[in-house]
């Protein structure tokens, strides 16, 4: 069975990602009432032996022990990631697979792409490699980010080029949240245009979503 790694970038990416993991757990619980770690659940979750020393060894078969999301959480502000770590899904995420800063990207594509991209490239790559090593057969990276925000549009699309260089055989799927016509951030149209160029060049598949739909 193949596995996918979800990479959540920016405030929007992490908020949507959190909803995704909540839904994934509910769906699996509904169809897997015996609590068996099977191929379907292994697509997005690791089964971790909490009795093991260190990070905990992965259990490939048998009953579910402790599920960990195959995810990397990235944001250049701490707020949303901290909320996730204090929320009901806090135990689902590996605390060593998070990258945050405190200054934010200021709704500026260039800051996210050029500044934080260069600054955090190696740290991000280390987290991605670790996630890939924990997969038996990695099929794709599933990136979630906004097109209007600085971190989402800038660092999110920087990440695509890194993935293309380091994992050329692994598909890159992107859920891109576009700003609505009523967006009040003056830089969001420019961020979207700059990010769109990167998506065209480096993404294998783009799933565009209107931000307004996420607010319904």
pLDDT tier, 50 (very low <50, low <70, confident <90, very high otherwise)? low
Residue 52 domain-assigned?
Answer: no
**Assigned domain for 46 exists:** no
How confident is residue 207, by pLDDT bands cut at 50, 70 and 90? very high
What total of structural domains would you count in the chain? 1
The domain containing residue 116 runs over which residues?
Answer: 3-31+71-214
Q: What is the pLDDT of residue 49?
A: 74
| Residue 87: count of CB within 10 angstroms of its CB | 12
State the pLDDT at residue 61: 62
pLDDT value, residue 58: 56
- For residue 53, being part of any structural domain is answered with no
If we measure between CA atoms, which residue out of 128, 196, 127, 141 comes closest to residue 170?
A: 141
- Residue 91 placed within a domain: yes
- Asked if residue 36 is part of any domain, the answer here is no
Label residue 65 by pLDDT band (50, 70, 90): confident
Q: With respect to residue 206, please indicate whether it lies within any of the assigned structural domains.
A: yes
* CATH code where residue 172 lies: 3.40.50.1440
Task: For residues 24 and 21, give the distance between their C-alpha atoms in angstroms, rounded to a whole number.
Answer: 5
DSSP H helical ranges for 58-135? 79-86, 109-110, 117-133
pLDDT (tens digit per residue) in 3-40: 999 999 999 999 999 999 999 999 888 887 788 888 88
């Amino acid at each position: 069975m193949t596995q996918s790694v979800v990479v959540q970038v920016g405030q929007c990416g992490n908020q949507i990602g959190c909803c995704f993991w909540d839904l994934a757990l509910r769906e699996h619980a509904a169809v897997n009432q015996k609590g068996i770690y099977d191929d379907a659940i292994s697509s997005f979750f690791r089964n971790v032996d909490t009795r093991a020393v260190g990070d905990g060894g992965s259990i490939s078969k048998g009953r579910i022990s402790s599920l960990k999301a195959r995810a990397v959480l990235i944001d250049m502000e701490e707020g949303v990631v901290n909320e996730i770590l204090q929320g009901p899904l806090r135990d689902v995420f590996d605390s060593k697979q998070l990258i945050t800063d405190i200054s934010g990207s200021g709704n500026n594509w260039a800051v996210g792409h050029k500044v934080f991209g260069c600054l955090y490239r190696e740290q991000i790559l280390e987290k991605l490699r670790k996630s890939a090593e924990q997969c038996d057969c990695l099929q794709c990276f599933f990136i979630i980010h906004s097109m209007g925000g600085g971190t989402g549009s800038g660092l999110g699309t920087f990440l695509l080029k890194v993935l293309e260089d380091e994992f050329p055989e692994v598909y890159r799927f992107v859920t891109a949240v576009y700003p609505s016509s009523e967006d009040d951030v003056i830089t969001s149209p420019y961020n979207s245009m700059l990010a769109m160029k990167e998506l065209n060049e480096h993404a294998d598949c783009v799933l565009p979503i209107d931000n307004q739909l996420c607010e319904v």
